Amino acid sequence: MPLVTTKEMFAKAYKGGYAIGAFNVNDMEMVQAIVEAANECHSPVILQVSAGARKYANPVYLKHLVEAAVETTDIPIALHLDHGADFDICKASIDGGFTSVMIDASSKPWEENIAVTRSVVEYAHAHGVVVEAELGKLAGIEDDVHVEASDALFTSPDEVEEFTARTEIDSLAIAIGTSHGAYKFKPGQDPKLRLDILEEVGRRLPNFPIVLHGASSVPQDKVAIVNQYGGEMPNAIGIPESELRKAAQMAVCKINIDSDLRVAFTAAVRKHFVEYPSHFDPRQYLGDARAMMKEMVKHKIVNVLGSANKA
């Protein structure tokens, strides 16, 4: 099956009360871990590439790695630009064969967000590509932009109808309590999603796919491995997976996960080097990293997304 857009996946996910995982990729091991896990679970999947990933790996390499994944599996796979900052990066991704792009002008004033989003939609739709945009502001770090928790803003349901109507986007990312990165909340805090906002957004936008960014939950067992084997990750927690599961059963059709896979990757590599100090063949420790990420993706498909056997 060739690369697909997210249109059909989202329509089925909305009706079926589940969500599609959008996992960030920066190298071959990540692509393989995610796609092998999704394939074994018969789940559709979205592979997403940030500006940082484009800089690190070169989008042409990533595109061909994803094409290799498409060739070796028969699940629906979409290739998505994560957090496109302006029209030019969205256009470059569309021209380069991505099937979905995000234009993230959520930090810009209202009219500017609408204008740039609308221009991306016109170009994307003319090329058969779908567009995600964002309203609201998540706390955390993405591409070196740090948004303090005090500056984070929940999405206002009053804005979503006008925004989607004027931009004609295909999906909308909203801020309801998630945040980017691995250092989200302190242990002892009781982070929850504002499911009331999600419900109201869903009421105002019937059958419209909603996206959640910053949906890593900070796996405590993997953080413990990192720290047991010489790491110094601070104690932190994310939104519980049970809350994300509820959102997936509502209007949320795409759930973004990056940090949890990074933690799994690092845990496996740190453990490997301590257990096998003489090893120097990268296939040995990268193989362990790939296996731990794969296990993590399967866990998310079953416990958070509910997308197993939906391919």
Active site residues: 82
Structure tokens at 198: 């999600």
Please choose which of ligand G3H, Zn ion, ligand 13P, none residue 176 contacts, taking the beta carbon within 5 to 8 angstroms, the exact cut-off set by kind.
Answer: none
Choose, by CB under 6 A, the member of 36, 170, 258, 288 that binds ligand 13P.
258
Structure tokens at 185: 């909340």
Choose, by CB under 5 A, the member of 213, 290, 298, 310 that binds Zn ion.
213
Nearest-CB residue for ligand G3H: 52
**Piece in contact with ligand 13P (CB under 6 A), picked from 9-17, 72-80, 219-227, 253-261:** 253-261
Please choose which of Zn ion, ligand 13P, ligand G3H, none residue 215 contacts, taking the beta carbon within 5 to 8 angstroms, the exact cut-off set by kind.
Answer: ligand 13P
| Least Cβ distance, residue 276 to ligand G3H (angstroms) | 29
Question: Which amino acid does the sequence have at 40?
Answer: E
Cβ–Cβ < 8 Å for 267, 225: yes
# residues contacting ligand G3H (CB under 6 A): 11
Asked if 254 interacts with Zn ion (CB under 5 A), we say no
Cβ–Cβ < 8 Å for 215, 174: no
| Least Cβ distance, residue 104 to Zn ion (angstroms) | 8
By CB under 6 A, what part of segment 238-277 binds ligand G3H? Answer: 258
Choose, by CB under 6 A, the member of 3, 13, 22, 53 that binds ligand G3H.
53
| Least Cβ distance, residue 276 to Zn ion (angstroms) | 35
Cβ–Cβ < 8 Å for 40, 135: no
- Minimum CB distance to ligand G3H smaller for 102 or for 130: 102
- Minimum CB distance to ligand 13P smaller for 13 or for 257: 257
**Piece in contact with ligand 13P (CB under 6 A), picked from 53-61, 143-151, 208-216, 278-286:** 208-216
- Minimum CB distance to ligand G3H smaller for 115 or for 153: 153
Question: Which amino acid does the sequence have at 308?
Answer: A
Asked if 219 interacts with ligand 13P (CB under 6 A), we say no
> What HEC string does the chain produce?
CCCCCCHHHHHHHHHHCCCEEEEECCCHHHHHHHHHHHHHCCCCEEEEECHHHHHHHCHHHHHHHHHHHHHCCCCCEEEEEEEECCHHHHHHHHHCCCCEEEECCCCCCHHHHHHHHHHHHHHHHHCCCEEEEEECECEEEECCEEECHHHCECCCHHHHHHHHHHHCCCEEEECCCCECCCCCECECECCCCCHHHHHHHHHHCCCCCEEECCCCCCCHHHHHHHHHCCCCCCCCECCCHHHHHHHHHCCEEEEEECHHHHHHHHHHHHHHHHHCCCCCCHHHHHHHHHHHHHHHHHHHHHHHHCCCCCC
Choose, by CB under 6 A, the member of 43, 50, 117, 307 that binds ligand G3H.
50
- Minimum CB distance to ligand 13P smaller for 137 or for 204: 137
Contact letters for ligand G3H, residues 76-115 (x by CB under 6 A)? ------xx--------------------------------
# residues contacting Zn ion (CB under 5 A): 2
- Return the bridge partners of 22, or none: 46, 256
| Least Cβ distance, residue 119 to ligand G3H (angstroms) | 22
Asked if 52 interacts with ligand G3H (CB under 6 A), we say yes
